[in-house]
Amino acid sequence: MIHSIMKKIIQLLILPLLFVSCKSETETMVDSTTKLYDNGKYIEVLKTNKKTKHIGFITNINYGISYRFNYSFTVNGREVIWSPKGSAEPKNIIFAKDSIYLQSLEKRSFPFQEVLTDTVITSHKDSIVSKYEVYIDNRYFFNLFGDDFWLNIPSEQYAGVVRNNKVFAIPNDNEYQLEE
């Protein structure tokens, strides 16, 4: 009797797992765009699109599709490299005398609390926000030693640079737009 009960319990646990177990199929596409600016600088932008389908093993039903993208770019053939972690979309670049400045947009999730009668629920809302960065190049001796990196800066510093320099648009697919 115990053996038959255990057998039924195992069947009840395993059968649903077989029906909802999924295999994933990922399709990756890389798009490359180059642009020559009127100041003589050129940029190559790479966009990697990943679309993943989740399909049930037994049912062969599509349980959903997830989509991710990632941008990276180089200036003057790898003189400057930008490769963020996560999905950020580069929008504008400034070639100032002292460095290079960048504005990009990214999706961030902000928590908020909602009160329903006697219950407090914490949820998240996605928003598109601007991110500002400056390129720091501390390399020396033919760029063999030292380090180069992108540093986050406040919007006020970026706005000050915008007033004194020309802003160039970076080619992108306009996945993200600021909400007005």
**Burial tier of 74 (Cβ tally within 10 Å: 0-12, 13-18, 19+):** middle
Q: Which two tokens stand for residue 76?
A: 């003057």
Q: What integer is the mean pLDDT of 91-119?
A: 84
Read off the pLDDT of residues 3-48 as tens digits, 9 standing for 90 and up.
677 777 766 666 555 555 777 788 999 999 999 999 999 999 999 9
Cβ 146 vs Cβ 139: under 8 Å: yes
Q: Which residue has the higher pLDDT, 145 or 173?
A: 173
Percent of the chain whose pLDDT exceeds 90: 37
Answer for the pair 52, 25: CB distance below 8 angstroms, yes or no.
yes
Using alpha carbons, select from 108, 96, 170 the residue that is nearest to residue 134.
Answer: 96
3-state DSSP call for residue 74? Answer: strand
Query: 147 falls in which pLDDT band (50, 70, 90)?
Result: confident
Return the bridge partners of 58, or none.
Answer: none
Bridge partners (DSSP) of residue 140 are 145
Residue of 67 and 15 predicted with greater confidence? 67
pLDDT at 11: 67
pLDDT for residue 110: 74
- Mean local confidence (pLDDT), 112-140: 79
Task: Look at residue 152 and tell me whether its pLDDT is greater than 70.
Answer: yes
Q: For residue 74, give every residue at least 6 positions away whose Cβ sits within 8 Å of its Cβ, in sequence order, or none.
A: 43, 44, 80, 81, 82
| Mean pLDDT, range 157-164, rounded to an integer | 92
Give the rounded distance of the alpha carbon of 52 from its chain centre. 16
Partners of 12 in beta bridges: none
How do residues 46-58 score in pLDDT, each as one tens digit?
999 999 888 877 7
- The rounded distance, in Å, linking the Cα atoms of 82 and 91 is 12
| Cα(143)–Cα(157) distance, integer angstroms | 27
